[in-house]
Amino acid sequence: MIYIGLTGWGDHYSLYPPQIKPKDKLSEYGSHFPVVELDASFYAVQSVEKALKWAHETPESFQFIVKAYQGMTGHKREDLPFLNKQEMFQAFKDSLKPLREANKLAMVLFQFPPWFECRTENVNYLRYCRKVMGDIPVALEFRHQSWFKKQYYSSTLSFMKQEGWIHSVADEPQAGVGSVPIVPVATNEKITLIRMHGRNFHGWTRPKNANTNWREVRYLYKYNEAELVEWKARIQDLEKQSKDIFIVFNNNSGGDAAGNAKQLQKLLDIEYDNLSPQQLRLF
């Protein structure tokens, strides 16, 4: 089965009627797509009450890909609101309980930062993360090119298979060591994740500063049909390696994610059942 969706549900204005209230957006989003990537969990461990609310607002078969908290991936290393690493991981796992109980947790995504290199201590940390997460499905996405350099390529994929990591295959600008190539290889026979970040090289490499909202630039990209047709072939090949393929579009700086997701859905000739009913549009 192929599940196509977007990162987040708040900013995809082309999906929603003009009069929609923010509190109704998730329910309306669920009338378009069967899966969403939850980004709020990256910035703070979410409350059980919120997760319970999200579970109630979505169709029975709806799935969440939950991003691991930034303290767990090393994006944030200071001023963490936890006494230690064990407490942090436990709080995060506790926050997932309503989604797990509703059978709506597809996986937890560990996206590591560009400075997370292929080194022994980082490999050991990946082992730790996998062990602590227990039976929760976990996906792994790198942002440092060293993991897929010629001398480590096979070992990286073998390690992910042995440890039970789901491969998060990234489509992103090829911008040196702070990016990874497209590696369309499944490491888990049950699930593979694909994340479409766009190919805006200049936005990707633009340095962060206080005067610029880097997110407004970094993911400013619209995939053309030829690029999506290329991905159609990759997806069909990955279907032979994994039972389920999850695809999320993250290229929304210009509002292009939803349109590209529906374009790919059409190319793959997919129609989803059991979605939420859409709100009535007057125009």
Domain ranges of the chain: 2-267
pLDDT at residue 202 in the model: 79
Model confidence pLDDT, tens digit, residues 129-175? 999 999 999 999 999 999 999 999 999 999 999 999 999 999 999 98
Determine the Cα–Cα distance for residues 217 and 220; give it in Å rounded to an integer.
5
Strand partners, 35: 5, 63
Residues 6+ apart with CB under 8 A from 53: none
Looking at 3.40.50.10470, 3.40.50.300, 3.10.50.40, 3.20.20.410, the CATH number of the domain 2-267 comes to 3.20.20.410
Residue range 1-11: mean pLDDT, rounded: 95
- 113, 74 contact by CB (below 8 A): yes
Q: Is the pTM of this model over 0.85?
A: yes
Q: Structure tokens of 81? A: 């609101």
DSSP string, 235-275: HHHHTTT-SEEEEEE--TTTT-HHHHHHHHHHHTT----SP
Largest CA distance in the chain: 59
- Give the closest residue to 159 by CA, choosing from 135, 183, 126, 181: 126
The total of other beta-carbon atoms located within 10 Å of residue 15's CB is 22
Model confidence pLDDT, tens digit, residues 166-221? 999 999 999 889 899 999 999 999 999 999 999 987 777 776 654 556 667 788 89
Residue range 1-8: mean pLDDT, rounded: 97
Determine the Cα–Cα distance for residues 171 and 184; give it in Å rounded to an integer.
10
pLDDT at residue 282 in the model: 45
pLDDT over 80 at 283, yes or no: no
Q: How confident is the model at residue 278 (pLDDT cuts 50, 70, 90)?
A: confident
pLDDT at residue 210 in the model: 44
Element (H, E) at 229: helix 225-238
Model confidence pLDDT, tens digit, residues 53-105? 999 999 999 999 999 999 999 999 888 999 999 999 999 999 999 999 999 99
